[in-house]
Structure 1
């Protein structure tokens, strides 16, 4: 792997390249897409991935306090517990050996008896709303750390604030496209990490954001490359007021 922007460097330190900013809360989206913008191949992102993408993916997980994903992504991608990694020991010093996964779901259509809820080293978090089925909410409260944020639908601003209250201020969102769009529309996204696979997919695959419109201006801050795959990091310019608010919540 090499860095090709903002300068050229062979074998960059991936953990350093994706380190979170110090002293403030930060929400990062991490997605992979084809060259023509498809967010999946045959319904899953794995077909667009590469060895380099998987190395960066694992490093990002090691750096984060919490991994956020929508229930549809958890089901389609077959999420299980995050396994410990020896390489994470230094990255996670002073924190649990693995980050918890937080699943966003209005319907609570999840396998609450599955290994994501029974075998996770860090207790899985479920984020739902008051309108979720009552009996499912009771079961989810027994199987997970349950957050109820919002009335008829999940209020993502409240959900992220609840994560911050738990000390989980370095947030990694792994999608899917609808959750990404909602986070952007709520003005919660600080960074987009996008792996661009040299493939043309076509068809009806969603883009990395699919849903509510959002107008966020991003700056390209870094590009890595390996085997034709581009690993782009975009960050938004932070207003002083927003930075102060986020620091206070961390």
Structure 2
């Protein structure tokens, strides 16, 4: 696989020369148990957006790892607000990445999983209408779907008046989606953290200061702090850092 934008490992064991996609894939890997990985990018001063969007913080290295993490997951979890605001398209992968998945006994594409309490979703959005595999929408018993949504997605109700995330993850795993990647937004990350459901955080730190205004990568009601040890530090020549944190009971990637 190609090297792409040069990314080097600086900790715990420095690597000489840039990492290939195969080496990056090995570093991040797939867990040997049900696993929820969260992926975010932030500025050096902690902002989650620049000019209102995460795209302004993301660079070539972040996009490269972003694509590899999608290749590794069974289900891609995103909040409805992020899906709308960031203009998500259908979750598609390049042929080499689809081939990697086939070789490792996975379906060609991960399943898009949307978390929505209000079901304020547009069935015509490309994320649904152009999806290569049928998305799943996690909601609660009191939510009413808009016309056409159940034509393009499976509706799964978890909870009476709010989405019960623990029940939702158990349902996804019952469907065979054991390795989950969450791309936000901050309120979903905060709720998953409060429910003690996050196993791993992959955080790209962009070498810029966004200044006052933007929120953090997590939001919502405060919860108890949770230990999440650092597993590796990767870096690029322009000063971008790619950090991977995982629970104490998660072994480091090879």
TM-score, structure 1 length as denominator? Answer: 0.91
Is this contact kept in 1: 2:88–2:126, CA < 8 A?
Answer: no
Q: Point out the more displaced range, 91-100 or 102-111.
A: 91-100
In structure 2, distance between residues paired with 1:120 and 1:69: 15
The yes-or-no answer on 1:130 pairing with 2:141 is yes
Equivalent residue for 1:2, pick from 3, 8, 26? 8
RMSD between aligned residues: 1.4
Residue by residue over 1:33-60, the C-alpha shift from the partner in whole angstroms, topping out at 9 and shown as x without a partner, is 0000001111110100010000000000
Evaluate the alpha carbon distance shift between residue 92 and residue 58 of structure 1 in structure 2; reply closer, same or farther with a 3 A threshold.
farther
In structure 2, distance between residues paired with 1:86 and 1:96: 13
Residue 102 of structure 1 aligns to a residue whose secondary structure is strand
In structure 2, distance between residues paired with 1:172 and 1:6: 24
The yes-or-no answer on 1:234 pairing with 2:241 is no
The yes-or-no answer on 1:141 pairing with 2:147 is no
In structure 2, distance between residues paired with 1:171 and 1:14: 18
Indicate the residue corresponding to 1:19 in structure 2.
Answer: 29
Indicate the residue corresponding to 1:245 in structure 2.
Answer: none
In structure 2, distance between residues paired with 1:184 and 1:102: 18
Cα drift, residue 84 of structure 1: 2.8
Q: Which runs of 5+ in 1 are unaligned?
A: 240-250
Indicate the residue corresponding to 1:80 in structure 2.
Answer: 89
Residue by residue over 1:111-146, the C-alpha shift from the partner in whole angstroms, topping out at 9 and shown as x without a partner, is 11222222111111111111212x53x743222011
Indicate the residue corresponding to 2:4 in structure 1.
Answer: none
Q: Point out the more displaced range, 63-72 or 90-99.
A: 90-99
Is this contact kept in 1: 2:42–2:206, CA < 8 A?
Answer: yes
Equivalent residue for 2:117, pick from 86, 102, 106? 106
Equivalent residue for 2:107, pick from 72, 86, 96? 96
Indicate the residue corresponding to 1:38 in structure 2.
Answer: 47
Q: Which runs of 4+ in 1 moved over 4 A?
A: none
Tell me how many residue pairs correspond in the alignment: 236
Equivalent residue for 2:207, pick from 194, 198, 204? 198
Is this contact kept in 2: 1:191–1:233, CA < 8 A?
Answer: yes
TM-score, structure 2 length as denominator? Answer: 0.89
Indicate the residue corresponding to 1:170 in structure 2.
Answer: 179
Residue by residue over 1:182-211, the C-alpha shift from the partner in whole angstroms, topping out at 9 and shown as x without a partner, is 000111000000000011112221101111
Q: Which runs of 5+ in 2 are unaligned?
A: 1-6
Is this contact kept in 2: 1:63–1:92, CA < 8 A?
Answer: no
Is this contact kept in 1: 2:101–2:108, CA < 8 A?
Answer: no
